[in-house]
């Protein structure tokens, strides 16, 4: 399963977001309506699922699904 599919699955399963709303350019807050509590939960899910550490400063920069995919991809390569 690729990173984008995994992120989509997390958003759909954990936060109840409709799969049709999860597009690469979707902004977590503006487009998907994720609040700060959900976002914190989402970042923790990313860390557990991909076995990476996402510092708070980095987490704040992840605003779209594309940004999250790129970030996670880079973290997993390093």
Which residues does the annotation mark as catalytic?
35
User: Are 64 and 25 contacting, i.e. CB atoms less than 8 angstroms apart?
Assistant: yes
Q: How many helices (H) and strands (E) does the chain have?
A: 4, 0
27 phi/psi in degrees, rounded to 5: -85, 130
């Amino acid at each position: 399963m690729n990173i984008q599919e995994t992120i989509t699955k997390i958003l759909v399963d954990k936060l109840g977001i409709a799969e049709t709303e999860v597009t690469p350019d979707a902004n977590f807050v503006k487009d998907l309506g994720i609040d700060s509590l959900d976002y914190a939960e989402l970042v923790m899910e990313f860390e557990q699922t991909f076995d990476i550490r996402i510092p708070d400063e980095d987490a704040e920069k992840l605003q779209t699904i594309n940004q999250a995919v790129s970030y996670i991809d880079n973290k997993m390569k390093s």
